[in-house]
Amino acid sequence: MSRSFRVEGVEPRRGSNGVCSYPGEILAGQAAVVEAAARLPQDPALTDLPEYLSVATRDGEEWTLGFDDGMLGVFDLSYPGSDVFEQQLAAEPWVASVERVEREVFAFTTTTVLTADVVLAHCVDVCGKVFRRLNG
């Protein structure tokens, strides 16, 4: 099993099913995540956004992205059938496929193995794009 998705100096939470989970707060200080957060629109709703997200993987290509409940309304995820976020994530060049598995969880496959901090940074960028679309 490839370990190339790991972030040096960051210990993931390991599940009994082999999944390594990275809550946003443990990746928030990584350079890629800090840079992505700096690109977000300046809005109080997005303050500390990375800390409200989490990513998880077994292999660095199949990932899940989870949102804390407080972010659901910010990205129009509260209602069934709202798919702006899923559409934006699917449109990203680094994403091969996307499925919304719960209202606050997306499963996606990347086009190549990425580290957890880079995946979270990409997801923060997607959040910024969605926020801009929703708030004109």
1 found inside a domain: no
Domain of 113 in residue numbering reads as: 13-134
Using the predicted structure, report yes or no on whether residue 32 has a pLDDT greater than 90.
Answer: yes
The whole-number pLDDT of residue 80 equals 66
113 found inside a domain: yes
* pTM attached to this predicted model: 0.94
Which neighbouring-strand residues pair with 14?
20
pLDDT in tens, 116-127: 999 999 999 999
Q: Residue 111 — φ and ψ, nearest 5°?
A: -75, -15
91 found inside a domain: yes
Using the predicted structure, report yes or no on whether residue 44 has a pLDDT greater than 90.
Answer: yes
Are 57 and 5 in contact, with CB atoms under 8 Å apart? Answer: yes
The whole-number pLDDT of residue 31 equals 97
DSSP string, 16-69: TTS-EEEEHHHHTTSHHHHHHHHTS-S-GGGTTGGGGEEEEESSSSEEEEEE-G
Write down the mean pLDDT value for the chain.
93
Using the predicted structure, report yes or no on whether residue 2 has a pLDDT greater than 60.
Answer: no
What is the count of structural domains for the chain? 1
